[in-house]
Amino acid sequence: MEMEPRNLEKVSFSVWLKGILSKSLAKTHEIARETTKIAKDDPRRLIHSLKFGLAITLVSLFYYFQPLYNSFGVSAMWAVMTVVVVFEFSVGATLGKGLNRGLATMVAGALGLGAHHLASLTGKTSEPILIGLFVFLQGASACVVVSIFICPVWAGEDLHKLIAKNMKKLGSFLEDDFFRTSENGEQSPVSLSSILVDSKSTEENLANFARWEPGHGQFMYRHPWKQYLKIGNLTRQCACKVEALTGCLNSKTEATQGIRGTIIEEASSRMSSECGKALKELAWAIEKMIRSSSSDPHIANLKIASLNLKSLLKSGFWKEYSNLLQLIQVAGVASLLIDIGDSVENIADAVSELSFLAKFKCKESNGAGAEVENQNNNSFRQVGLMFENPIVSN
């Protein structure tokens, strides 16, 4: 027996209504649960929302209470907008924004009166045009002047610090003993997630903003901001390789255990340490905007360690491994470390190019120029010997 169209419509409407009610109840329960969670985590946030609602309600009386509305008119709505802009979580922030808004309103009012007076002197024909022009100019000049001369926040400076911070973070990560942390199940105190995930878009945005900024401090006109992006990209590429190496070492397989206590582990640990030290020295040079050769000894030692690993890969060390999977794992770790060393050398070249383009000051760290120069000569002399007679074991 088929249902009549009218009854079918009633059933479908009731089903639709029940669905709407159930969704509304579920949403209400979710909001109540989130509110309860926020109240338990930080009761001040719930109190702040209630205070904000109270302030909005009080200033709304200027608009809805007839005697007050007769005095202020539609301008009473600006009281509501002021609460939205000024009311902050802390007392200091509210007072600061309130004073700033009050001062800005007074200055803007004075400028507006002056512009209106000047425009009225030119006659009714030119007055609307000049008023519009003055409004635009005063708004744009006020924003630019306040932004530049009152506690300025420079995008270029933020980009400069971010690049140095990421390099230092990667250097600290590499300087840790990968084999010790992976063997003990420990987690490195430094995370690479911020370098791999968030840094690219942040760096590009800061670089685009920095190109619009005038010369300031040590960042003169036409500062090589694109070179910072190049260094940032090289740092991310190196971080990706380090992340792959970390995942390889943290895998709980028999092949991973075959690396422990071998010549590969000793050479890899040394190379990782030199990479970390070189990156930290390069980050220091960028942060201080100084042409420093303090990273050169670590780069030289890095080349020696890289040559050792390459010599080991070409030697007959693989005959010690009967398990093919173990051999592949060991060779993969060594290959990744060699790639990381090459990435660090590329970063060092990019930083050297930046120091030339940005005209960094020539200065040695801690006045140890002679000592660093001697270390450089000794290290590069060792590299020359390595090419003639590669070292197989440390």
C-alpha Rg value of the chain to the nearest Å = 33
DSSP codes, 202-235: HHHHHHHHHTTSPPBTTB-TT--HHHHHHHHHHH
User: In a structure prediction context, what are the per-residue pLDDT tens digits for the chain, which is 394 residues long?
Assistant: 455 556 656 667 677 777 788 888 888 888 888 878 877 777 887 788 888 888 888 888 877 777 777 777 777 777 788 888 888 877 777 888 888 888 888 887 888 788 878 877 877 777 777 777 777 776 777 777 777 887 788 899 999 999 999 999 999 888 875 555 555 555 555 667 767 777 888 899 999 999 988 888 888 888 999 999 999 999 999 999 988 888 777 766 555 555 655 666 777 788 888 999 999 999 999 999 998 888 889 899 888 888 888 887 777 666 666 677 777 777 778 888 889 999 999 999 999 999 999 999 886 544 334 344 444 444 434 444 443 444 443 3
Instruction: Please state, as a whole number, how many other Cβ atoms lie within 10 Å of the Cβ of residue 297.
Output: 23
Say which residues have a Cβ less than 8 Å from residue 140's Cβ, sequence separation at least 6: none
| pLDDT at res. 290 | 92
| pLDDT at res. 103 | 85
Q: What is the pTM of this model?
A: 0.65
Q: Are 228 and 159 spatial neighbours (Cβ–Cβ below 8 Å)?
A: yes
Closest CA to 80 of 60, 97, 100, 95: 60
Cα separation, 49 vs 140, whole angstroms: 34
Cα separation, 249 vs 264, whole angstroms: 13
Q: Where are the domains of the chain?
A: 18-87, 99-152, 155-388
Q: Domain 155-388, CATH 1.20.58 — does that match?
A: yes
Q: Are 95 and 115 spatial neighbours (Cβ–Cβ below 8 Å)?
A: no
Return the amino acid letter for 21.
Answer: L
